[in-house]
Amino acid sequence: MKKVFLLFLTGAMLIGTGLTARAEMRSGAFYLTPQIGGYVFEGNQNLDHGLTYGLGLGYAFDDHWASELTFNVIDTALESGGGDVSGYLLRLDGLYHFTPDKRLVPYLAAGIGGLSLDPDVGSSDSSFLVNAGGGLKYFLTDSIALRGDARYLLTFDDTHNNLIYTLSLDFLFGGKKKVAAVAAPLDSDGDGVTDDIDRCPGTPAGVAVDARGCPLDSDGDGVYDYQDNCPNTPAGVAVDKKGCPLDSDADGVYDYQDKCPDTPAGVQVDGDGCPLDSDGDGVYDYLDKCPDTPRDLKVDADGCPMMLEEQVSIELDINFDINKADIKPQYHQELKEVADFLATYPKTSAVIEGHTDDTGEASYNKDLSQRRADSVREYLIRTFDINPARLTAEGYGEERPVASNATARGRAQNRRVVAVISAEKQLYEKK
């Protein structure tokens, strides 16, 4: 008997070796149960304990409940030596499984049936019975389970208390297999991109990311938008850690816009990043030792006027009413610039020249130009206290045109007043 059990158990383990699958009871499945075991008779029945083998057919109504029809053959003998006895056991049982979704499934069973005993000598005997018990199923694969079962049997025609125990295999067919629940991929940083495809898994909460889970970098400068203080940097521009374009000389103008990238620290610059040149003499203010040099004067490396090589003419945009020499208020500022220059450089002198177009008599035009030049000279002397010896007025009338008198535009250019400044070959020197 022990050898039979060992052979049966060994075969069952070999079936399950190397097979891996989800194991469980499943609704709607049929199963066959070949079994082998032992049958224990009550002592007053005068029968030896015997070997039993059989076959069961079951159906699972759902994951927990099932019904079985089982037929067993029992090999035994009379204790008195009166010969062999063959037993036939038929049962219809209901089973309840406790953990149907596990590999190891305990269950309880109960049912009804009948037992027939047929001795070699004498008449046979049949009895109605009820049974109750339970067992364990261990799933080797998703369709094969090793099973151990024990039942208490109570017969009624002649009341006897018997016990049957079996080792069997359940072979399941059909039924609804459960799909194993797949755990949703994790999204550790909560950015909406799961960890398995997230290339930037530590993104701070609330930061917008792309399909790879990395923070956005809208301007493509290598600094993420949420850290970028200059989010609209042009493509290809080198930036610092804050995403702002470099400003190597720290003048407030980014390098890619800076036309003077090496400006010394602290120097005031214009929109192009170049130092200011307030007087337009070509020498930056921070280097200019003569910052108020009048326009058009040649200067040295220090921004100061050089020795005059020729006279400097300052054309004044002053218009007079017809036949008048009165200076209108809107021209006072231009005259002030001439006065400021003469005051700043006391070694200079000026000739105020008056010119007209060729409209009218030449003598009249010359007289008109003289009166206008005199008017400008007197205004400079009276208003700005210029030494009269430094100013001369000369009217040239229509003698020195700078444009053609054949057009209105040319005539307008010829009606002019010019301050011709000279230093008599001396260096300009400030007061």
- Confidence category of residue 426, pLDDT binned at 50, 70, 90: very low
Integer Cα distance of 155 and 353 in angstroms: 150
- Kindly state the DSSP code that residue 196 receives in the 8-state scheme: T
User: Which range has the top average pLDDT, 44-48, 71-75, 240-244?
Assistant: 71-75
Taking the mean position of all CA atoms in its chain, how far away is CA 238? 21
Percent of the chain scoring above 90 in pLDDT: 43
- Confidence category of residue 398, pLDDT binned at 50, 70, 90: very high
Contact 25, 100 (CB under 8 A): yes
- Confidence category of residue 341, pLDDT binned at 50, 70, 90: confident
Looking at every residue in the chain, the average pLDDT score rounds to 85
pLDDT of 47 over the 80 cut: yes
pLDDT of 8 over the 60 cut: no
> Which domains, ranges and CATH numbers included, belong to the chain?
2-174 (2.40.160.20), 312-422 (3.30.1330.60)
pLDDT given at position 12: 44
Taking the mean position of all CA atoms in its chain, how far away is CA 417? 70
Task: Give the helix/strand (H/E) hosting 416.
Answer: strand 416-422
pLDDT of 154 over the 90 cut: yes
Integer Cα distance of 150 and 283 in angstroms: 113
- Confidence category of residue 51, pLDDT binned at 50, 70, 90: very high
pLDDT of 13 over the 70 cut: no
Contact 370, 355 (CB under 8 A): no
Among 128, 63, 59, smallest CA distance to 94 is for 59
User: What average pLDDT does this structure show over 180-184?
Assistant: 66
- Confidence category of residue 18, pLDDT binned at 50, 70, 90: very low
User: What average pLDDT does this structure show over 28-50?
Assistant: 92
Residue 156 backbone dihedrals phi, psi, to 5 degrees: -115, -35
pLDDT given at position 312: 66
- In tens, the pLDDT along 76-113 reads 998 877 789 999 999 999 999 999 989 999 999 999 99
User: What average pLDDT does this structure show over 364-387?
Assistant: 93
Contact 370, 390 (CB under 8 A): no
Contact 42, 161 (CB under 8 A): yes
Contact 191, 198 (CB under 8 A): yes
pLDDT of 2 over the 50 cut: no
